[in-house]
Amino acid sequence: MQRGSQSPPSGPLTADERALLFYYCLNHPVARCLSCSRSYYLHELVADLLSGRTHLCPRCRRDLTENVRSHVYGCGILPDDVRQKAKALREVAARLVTQSQQLRDQADRLIREAEAAVEQNRRALWQALKATRPST
């Protein structure tokens, strides 16, 4: 059983993580709330439908999603090959998220450069029009 993590949350559990929990981890605790000093089975964790948060401590409503995620990747019940494949999938997904963010950042930079070039060309066009305008 994994203890709490101080790292920022990385989002809800993926469908694969939930599938592993339901298949292998229903009969043992999957999270420990450090505030309440209690361990919880998956079915004991609660959700807040208004905020969309899941895997909350039933007593203090602390978000235990990262604890549950840590359990998935460290659970001794999972066969080694399943655990390794799950870790590899998680690493690939993290790498794709990073690459996606880098591509978004690059696209934003290119858009700003294109907008600046359009504005520069627009100003140059107006200057050229003013210079060739017949005087009255």
Dihedral angle, C-alpha 18, 24, 25, 26, nearest 10 °: 90
pTM over 0.75: no
pLDDT at 136: 62
Six token digits for residue 59: 């007593």
Output the average pLDDT for the chain. Answer: 88
A 10 A CB-CB count for 116 gives 10
> What pLDDT, in 10s, does the model give residues 63-73?
999 999 999 99
